[in-house]
Amino acid sequence: MKKLLLLSAFLIFACSYGQKIVIKTYGSKTNSFGKTIEPKLIAVDTLNITQIKDEFISVGLGESYHYISTKNYKNIKLFSSDFKSKRNVYDGDKLIALDDEVDVLNFFHKYGFEFFKTMSYVRSSAIEKLFLGNDFSNESLSQSPTVLILRNSNN
């Protein structure tokens, strides 16, 4: 009986192990002259998406990476690089790349998150130029960031 209980606990752990995002926190490392040399790894944490209890989460879509925000985690990068060493999203025991909106939606739908709505932020170049001193062209206005709002159907 104990072996069966232990085996079932192991299988439950193995099934939920892979739906995770690895979060690495870096700090700056300086030499004796005060120059920053290379970032120093401070901590490694994991976010298991099957354990998120929030009703809604947001996933921002970017060019080189996407990011996820929940109640407890803000702007966690989801790297979608061609290089496996840069990626940080696991599906089961397989390291995956979330390249575009369809990949993101399929991954999160697989683990109980349903598409709710999309939000786009449009930059106002006049306001940014006035307050920030930036001069944006019309191209930057057409490339507004997109944020997907997903509903957690596991709750």
Note the pLDDT tens digit of each residue in 16-59: 445 777 877 777 777 777 777 777 777 778 889 999 999 999 99
Instruction: Tell me the mean pLDDT in the region 67-87.
Output: 85
Give a yes or no: residue 112 inside a domain.
Answer: yes
**Is pLDDT of 11 > 50?**
no
Q: How much is the pLDDT for 112?
A: 94
Give a yes or no: residue 50 inside a domain.
Answer: yes
Give a yes or no: residue 6 inside a domain.
Answer: no
Token output for 28: 């700056």
How many whole angstroms separate alpha carbon 62 and alpha carbon 71?
Answer: 21
Q: How much is the pLDDT for 137?
A: 44
pLDDT tier, 152 (very low <50, low <70, confident <90, very high otherwise)? very high
How many whole angstroms separate alpha carbon 140 and alpha carbon 119?
Answer: 17
Q: Is 5 exposed, middle or buried (0-12, 13-18, 19+ CB in 10 A)?
A: exposed
Q: How much is the pLDDT for 142?
A: 42
Give a yes or no: residue 37 inside a domain.
Answer: yes
How many whole angstroms separate alpha carbon 16 and alpha carbon 112?
Answer: 13
Q: How much is the pLDDT for 55?
A: 96
Number of structural domains in the chain: 1
User: Which one, of 69, 46, 52, lies nearest residue 149 by Cα?
Assistant: 69
Q: How many Cβ atoms from other residues are within 10 Å of residue 128's Cβ?
A: 14
Give a yes or no: residue 9 inside a domain.
Answer: no
Give a yes or no: residue 113 inside a domain.
Answer: yes
Residue 25, SS3 per DSSP: strand
How many whole angstroms separate alpha carbon 16 and alpha carbon 47?
Answer: 11
Domain extent for 28: 17-152
**Is pLDDT of 3 > 60?**
no
**Is pLDDT of 4 > 50?**
no
Span 85-135, pLDDT tens digits: 788 899 988 988 888 899 999 999 999 999 999 988 665 555 455 555 554
pLDDT tier, 139 (very low <50, low <70, confident <90, very high otherwise)? very low
Give a yes or no: residue 68 inside a domain.
Answer: yes
Q: How much is the pLDDT for 85?
A: 77
Q: How much is the pLDDT for 6?
A: 38
Give a yes or no: residue 139 inside a domain.
Answer: yes
Strands of 113-120's sheet, edge to edge?
76-79, 65-69, 56-61, 146-152, 113-120
